[in-house]
Structure 1
Amino acid sequence: MEFCVASEARAIFIGLFLVGFYANAAKTTSSPSGKRCSSLKSLVGEHESSNLLKEFAVARDTPIASLEAKDAFDGLQPDEKCFVYHMSEAAQLGGVIDYFQTSAESPFIYLLLQKVFGLSQVADLQSLASTTCQFSKEDWQAFLQYAAVFYSNLGNYFSYGLKKFIPNLPQSKFACLIQAVGKREVAAGKDNVTISQARSNILSLWNMSGDLIYNLSQRYRRNGLAPSAVTTYFSANCDEKDAALVQEYLISKKTEAWNSRVFKTDTGQNGSLCFEIRIASIETKNEGPLDSIELGKVESFKGSHFVFKRGDFSHFLKRSAKEMRAASRCFADPNKAEKAILDYTIQSFQTGSLDAHKNASRLWVRNKNPVIETYFGFIETYQDPNGMRASFEGFVAVVDKEKTARLTRLVSQAEDFLPLLPWPPSFEKDKFTKPDFTDLTVISFVNGGVPSGINLPNYNQIRQNEGFKNVNLGNVIAATLSARPLQYLTKVEEDLLNANKFLVFDIIVGLHELLGHGSGKQFNQFANGSLDFDAASLGSASVGSYGPVKDWYMPGQTYESTFGKLASSFEECRAETVATYLSLFPQVLAVWGINSTSAADVAYYLWLMEISEALQGLAQYDLKTTSWGEAHVPGQFAILRVMIEAGVAKVRIVNGSDGKADLLATLDKSLMFTKGKEAMANFLLGLQFYKSTGNQKAAQDFFDKYTSLAGAGHEEHLQWRQIAVDRKKPRSLLVQPNIFPSSQPSAVSARSVSVKEKLQTSYTLKVYPASAEGMIQSYQDCCNDLVYEEDIFTTALRDLPHFLI
């Protein structure tokens, strides 16, 4: 069965051939992008080109905010600053993985931008662009904005929406600037350091990525499976059927996919297929047991062959783990629980063991009231089109004790609020384990998109049986919410909501995370045949209009493996609906200091925000694939549909002040607490019923009823969607700070300092301007490491043949 394990050498050979070809092209062609460069207009036609630019080009007015964390950092003790520094380094070093998880070209684009901005100061580059390539001020701003958006998303697809973005700049001008900077690189002698660095010079990188940066042919417009989209969680030759087969195989092995990718590597004997399941780990040895699986052993399943291998992203996890070890040595008398969390996390990185990461997560949940919160691993599954594999994530934050006090009050009353939810007690956890719910000042958050709040861990069995933590990212909300647009409301309602935006958003995040993700029970059957619910009583009585319980999770099944790509969207919808529903109860809002006379107004503002967000989110719906690109958006639209169905909300198409089609939504406050409450309760009961019972097909049908725009009867919704696309406003970016030991001028020299020296020095947090230049400089300071860039290049080169289309 050698065919299942012989693809690595071939991949490297093909990759070397390709990079050799492109490097040669960079040196011989008279055009900086060679003959391969084609304009968008020539590819798709002038009319469609204009529409695509409107939808996919980076907005030149993209708002940018700066993450403020200086006061929180300065308030730490020296050993705590040392710990935060090393854990931030661990996050940044591991975060390179996210580029690989976004697209095949993203690592090359990252290296290209790092080299371009590393060779010259921004002002010098602007002068070069203006004099050599005739950049206008708008062109230059578009170039900077593209770089800032790319860095912020850790790749060239939006983390929110999974849609591709391209520069709002002609490809010929981008190519001209690359050629001009490339000449400087050659003149400086920086393209002959090592063989691989010579191959990864600026012109070679452009020739490998330039056309892909601008490619908006149908398949490249979104992240997803073949044949309609692209992903790097599966090789380019994998489609929905392949993903479903791999999912079945994983369930049969009683294992999960969180830290893995899938490569359909070869055709085996008699035309059978071979799937390599590649696990992220430092270790590359592929033999022996790992958790419940056997490494390197080729197995047959339903006519195909499967093999587990590890060593994916080895270089990056190794460096991240090294910084974690350094962090654990920052304290003379380390907290035993926190050291154990780090040890298990490092073990999971070292071996690829999910069991080790689950042990780290269990200890993390039990570690109450720390001064500093960190959590690392492969966490969120939004990006995987199959909904099972997770992107790398790591965050480091300081607990804000004053703001946490309010959230603690919510936790203390959570058990009183759970009975308000519209499902029977048997659908709730047997025991509600009160979690930590803290307000955090984020120092570093490495992932394609920084959220406003989190409920972790994402392992449902731990969350249901052992507990979880909620975190509210206070300084993230403070930095970004003011730039978050409100649309499609009357001027009066918009003004009212703007005046209460921070309060309303605070309530949504709190209820969504704690009582949304933290509520509800899964019904499970275990290997010995026992059940964790009363099948007899639940199987004989109807639950609302959804019938009796006839289904549950069998041994080896999890929520993620059962619901697949539906899992994230369905759960986010359930959590958001919990927040919307519970806002109708004055005793819940009292936690935020809202008295009974003001409660109805605040609930009204909250429902208005849900409506505005839902209509804006319509822009994320893809007409070709009839799917949503973002996990939270379909749930918000479903909530709006429930409001409309109940006669509580209305949406009309009107003429805007600019004379173009616009939307206007209205909400009948008098019906919210009667018809609205009843409708929201019934919808929420359905969401919980299908999640508890694990009936994926019924859940999909139920969800599609409120979220699908395909087929007859959705003509008006599609008109709304087009208006949302035409009036779409860009989401704000977030520039994060960096930490430096003593007065070290750059991250390169900072990382060269020994651990002992770091423990004897002071640490300074540098905050950057809220601008594209600030974003670019923050990445130059944190991540400009030639050796690490070589690792990125060789890893991307190895992967490249798997993603050729």
Structure 2
Amino acid sequence: MNSETISKHNDNNFYRVEKFADLEILRYKVTGFEELTLRQKKLLYYLSEAALQGRDILYDQNNRWNLIIRRTLEAIYIYFKGDRDTEEFKNFEIYLKRIWFSNGIHHHYSTDKMMPGFPENYFIKAVKSIEDKYLPLKKGESKESLLENIVPVIFSPMTDAKRVNQTEGEDLITTSAGNYYDGVTQNEVETFYSHVKKKDDPHPISYGLNSRLVKRNGKIYEEIYKIGGLYTEALEKVVYWLEQAKSVAENENQKKSIQKLIDFNRSGNLKEFDEYAILWVNDTNSEIDFINGFTETYGDPLGIKGSWESLVNFKNKQASERTQIISENAQWFEDNSPVDQQFKKVKVKGVSAKVITAAILGGDTYPSTPIGINLPNSNWIRQIHGSKSVTIENITEAYDRASQNNGFAEEFIWGENEKELIKKYGFLADNLHTDLHECLGHGSGQLLPGTDPDALKAYGATLEEARADLFALYYIADSRIVELNLLPDEEAYKAEYYKYMMNGLLTQLTRILPGNNLEESHMRNRQLIARWIYEKGMPDKVVELRKKEEKTYVVINDYIKMRKIIGDLLAEIQRIKSTGDFNAGKELVETYAVKVDPVLHREILERYKKLNIAPYKGFINPVYIPVYDKNGNISDINVTYKEGYAQQMLRYSKDYSLLPDYNN
């Protein structure tokens, strides 16, 4: 597919920028920015700069060749003097845009290596046509040496084929192309961390979160991400902008939180990271908030290493009324959960939730971003101090506005009743599901004493996402939700039930290639839940897959029984997590979450292709421009939305390209 620029003939197309490959680029509005105080605007601006400084870290974490490949491709894109109207160059441009989107050479969702649509000899000639000074050459290195290194990585299907391999029975470390480990096997990694963990520690640090584990001369050790250590060039700039942010912090609690994050970046000490997380989770009064650092572990097949990410945001006060209601009733939801009593929190602490407006996306939240977040990930901090949950409503609004009238509902939804349900309640129910997932789902339950937080290993991420989704699905259908005015009536939840089953059983298959199984944790989670409900409900035909005009559709016959099945699965997954039952978790995931019906898959792909809808979407960031008075002080911050996709990516590569070409 050639790159396609979206015309701007109506307001919804403000959100839509361009399409290429399997991707669509959108914009999001930062509604309410102009109403912030100057101090708040400056805080957002400084935090946004800190967010962008870590961009290269994620590229390097995703694969050790990413930076040098990206910089080589960008040099060709900027300085190539040949014919830019050929199919080869157009396909080259799409390949570079895909790498920008995925922060490297592997697909952002499937983690398969993306193969270029232009021949190897075309690439070699293009590199040789570029002046040496524009290429990422080490001192004394020739173009031939550069090509010898990167051509196999780009063009050989077998070289670094998978960024995150989750295939049962394989060595997940040596077969994954991520750059969190070097020279070690899965067994060596698991042995290393089993030895460094303190037994029966009630407050364990997140071992290995901020390091690369390497083997050099027979010795295994960690290279720590910190100032003076790995990624120092970027982290020094991150800290510089965090210092500026601290100077305009909204209150003393926020100031202390930022200072502790600065301390952690300087020391790399994970105990200080926990201290920062506690300060951050207890800062519930600040309107401006942010994430910055090594956070989620989906990029590591063992779920240990944190990828670099950032999100800067401010509170949507009106929309946050619903999350405040959820937070205030957190104990009721925990007490009435269908899980075994011993796995419930006796006293729910520190559950805070809000709806936010994203102001900048960075690292692993850019360009593709989650619609909700719950942090911190440390189980003991969540149990003692609580957690923060957010729903990013200007992102969900952008998705919703960009998808209107695209033909999807007509193609995949069974009947007029279901279409009307989703039209009437879909956006509201989606957002509430996200609220419940992030605020209560991830924050619910507890590990039994002595249970290792990493006991579920490679299956942990899938099971944790399933646990949170199930909690949300179970409660969105509860009459208590209507009593609390979170949904308008007892029909509204059915929109979410139908969309979830349709996605889990059918339409999410548009995101993988024919013949592939599911590997991404969120996709596995959704299929696990949907397939379990479908199978367990078969005797009563709770959910059916029906044919109409040779097309497969989801039909839900009994929403009440479906909720009961959801509760049963929630109870079982909470038991697995609370007890660290690896074998049961493995069996559940491998049985329901991984395998794909090839015939059904082919049908869904053929139907979806006719709609010309990109299955994946991501975002261009707004641009913040300081206004200075005659004394050189910032007197205002303006926000603009005019920057294009390639324009933004090239600017980021120019202004925030801080790491050396090789980090090995």
**TM-score, normalised by the number of residues in structure 2:** 0.84
> Which position in structure 2 is the counterpart of 1:450?
369
| Residue in 1 that maps onto 2:520 | 630
Match status 1:567 vs 2:491: no
Aligned pairs (5 A) from 1:75-154: 75-117=35-77, 119=78, 132=83, 134-136=85-87, 142-154=91-103
1:781 maps to 2:651: yes
From 220, 223, 235, the counterpart of 1:275: 220
Residue 508 of structure 2 is aligned to residue 617 of structure 1: yes
Instruction: Look up the equivalent residue of 1:631 and give its one-letter code.
Output: S
Q: CA RMSD in A?
A: 3.2
Of 207, 214, 218, 2:155 maps to 214
Deviation (angstroms), 1:205:
6.0
Deviation at 1:360, TM superposition (A): 1.2
Tell me, in whole angstroms, the C-alpha distance in 2 between the residues paired with 1:205 and 1:736. Answer: 32
Q: Distance in 2 between matches of 1:691 and 1:677?
A: 21
Structure possessing the higher radius of gyration over alpha carbons: 1
Deviations 1:628-685 (CA, angstroms, capped at 9, x unpaired)? 43111111111111221213222357766xxxxx5422221xx2203x2222211110
Specify the SS of the correspondent of 1:63: strand
Q: C-alpha deviations, 1:569-597, integer Å up to 9, x for none?
A: 1100111111122122132245455333x
**Pair 1:330-2:248 in alignment:** yes
- Structure 2 CA distance, aligned partners of 1:204 and 1:61? 33
User: Are the structure 2 counterparts of residues 330 and 465 from structure 1 closer, same or farther at C-alpha, using a change threshold of 3 Å?
Assistant: closer
Q: How does 1:608-687 map to 2 (within 5 A)?
A: 608-614=498-504, 615-618=506-509, 628-645=518-535, 646-647=537-538, 648-651=542-545, 663-668=552-557, 671-674=558-561, 676-687=562-573
Alignment of 1:208-357 (within 5 A): 208-217=149-158, 219-224=160-165, 225-235=172-182, 237-252=183-198, 255=205, 256-267=207-218, 274-283=219-228, 311-330=229-248, 335-357=251-273
Q: What is the alpha-carbon distance in structure 2 between the residues aligned to residue 655 and residue 381 of structure 1?
A: 43
Q: Distance in 2 between matches of 1:620 and 1:278?
A: 35
How far off is 1:344 after superposition? 0.8
Does the aligned pair in 1 maintain the 2:459–2:589 contact within 8 Å?
no
Q: Residue 295 of structure 2 aligns to a residue in which SS?
A: strand
Contact 2:173 2:181 survives alignment (8 Å): no
Structure 1 window deviating more from structure 2 (451-460 vs 250-259): it is: 250-259
Structure 1 residue 177 displacement after superposition = 4.9
* Equivalent residues of 2:105, 2:114 under 8 A apart: yes
Q: Specify the SS of the correspondent of 2:227.
A: coil
2:319 to 378, 396, 403: 403
Note if contact 1:91-1:393 (Cα within 8 Å) is conserved in structure 2: yes
Mapped to 1, the partners of 2:142 and 2:289 lie a distance apart of 38
Name whichever of 224-233 and 481-490 sits farther off.
481-490
Query: Which residue matches 2:494?
Result: 604
Q: CA deviation at 1:251?
A: 2.4
Distance 1:62 1:279, change over 3 A: same
In structure 2, relative to structure 1, the CA distance for the partners of 1:642 and 1:101 (3 Å cut) is same
For the structure 1 residues 638 and 366, does the alpha-carbon distance in structure 2 shift closer, same or farther, using more than 3 Å as the test?
A: same
CA distance in 2, matches of 1:520, 1:757: 55
Change (3 A) 1:204 1:678: same
8 A Cα contact 2:514 2:602, kept in partner = no
Separation in structure 2 between the aligned mates of residue 151 and residue 699 of structure 1, nearest angstrom: 35
| Secondary structure, aligned partner of 2:265 | helix
* Distance of 2:330 and 2:190 partners within structure 1: 38
The alignment covers a number of residue pairs equal to: 616
Q: Could you list the runs of 5+ residues in structure 2 that have no partner in the other structure?
A: 1-18, 166-171
The residue number in structure 1 matching 2:433 is: 508
Deviation per residue, 1:7-56 (Å, 9 max, x gap): xxxxxxxxxxxxxxxxxxxxxxxxxxxxxxxxxxxxxxxxxxxxxxxxxx
Among 613, 625, 639, the alignment partner of 1:765 is 639
- Report the Cα distance in structure 1 between the residues aligned to 2:482 and 2:124, rounded to whole angstroms: 55
1:719 aligned residue: 599
Q: CA separation of 1:104/1:475 partners in 2, compared to 1, >3 Å: closer, same or farther?
A: same
- Counterpart-to-counterpart distance in 2, 1:698 and 1:370: 42
Residue identity opposite 2:164 in structure 1:
N
Specify the SS of the correspondent of 2:217: strand
Candidates 18, 22, 33, aligned match of 1:73: 33
With the length of structure 1 as denominator, give the TM-score of the two structures.
0.70
Return 497-506 or 567-576, whichever deviates more: 497-506
CA deviations 1:65-121 (Å, max 9, x no partner) are: 11211x43322222222221121111111232100111122111332344445x46x
Q: For the structure 1 residues 592 and 94, does the alpha-carbon distance in structure 2 shift closer, same or farther, using more than 3 Å as the test?
A: farther
* Identical-residue share of aligned pairs (%): 22
Q: Is this contact kept in 2: 1:243–1:386, CA < 8 A? A: no
AA aligned opposite 2:56: V
Residues 445-484 of structure 1 correspond to what in structure 2 (within 5 A)? 445-448=361-364, 449-483=368-402
**How far 1:211 moved relative to its partner?**
4.0
Change (3 A) 1:758 1:511: farther
SS in 2 for 1:380: coil
Q: Determine the C-alpha separation between the residues in 2 that align with 1:64 and 1:775.
A: 8
Indicate if the aligned counterparts of 1:112 and 1:205 stay in contact, CA closer than 8 A: no
Q: In structure 1, how many angstroms separate the alpha carbons of the residues matched to 2:238 and 2:305?
A: 20
Write 1 or 2 for the structure with the bigger share of helix. 1
Match of residue 413 from structure 2: 489
**TM-superposition CA deviations, 1:534-586 (whole Å, max 9, x none):** xxxxxxxxxxxxxxxxxxx2xxx3x1x22222111110011111112212213
State the partner residue of 2:353.
437
Match of 2:624 in 1: 739
Question: Following TM superposition, by how much is the alpha carbon of 1:491 offset from its aligned partner in structure 2, in angstroms?
Answer: 5.5
Counterpart CA distance in 2 for 1:164 and 1:606 is 33
Query: 1:480 touches 1:734 (CA, 8 Å); kept in 2?
Result: no
Q: Is the 8 A contact 1:738 1:781 kept in 2?
A: no
CA deviations 1:258-283 (Å, max 9, x no partner) are 1122112233xxxxxx2122221113
Q: Given the superposition, is the C-alpha separation of residues 622 and 116 from structure 1 closer, same or farther in structure 2, using an over 3 Å criterion?
A: closer
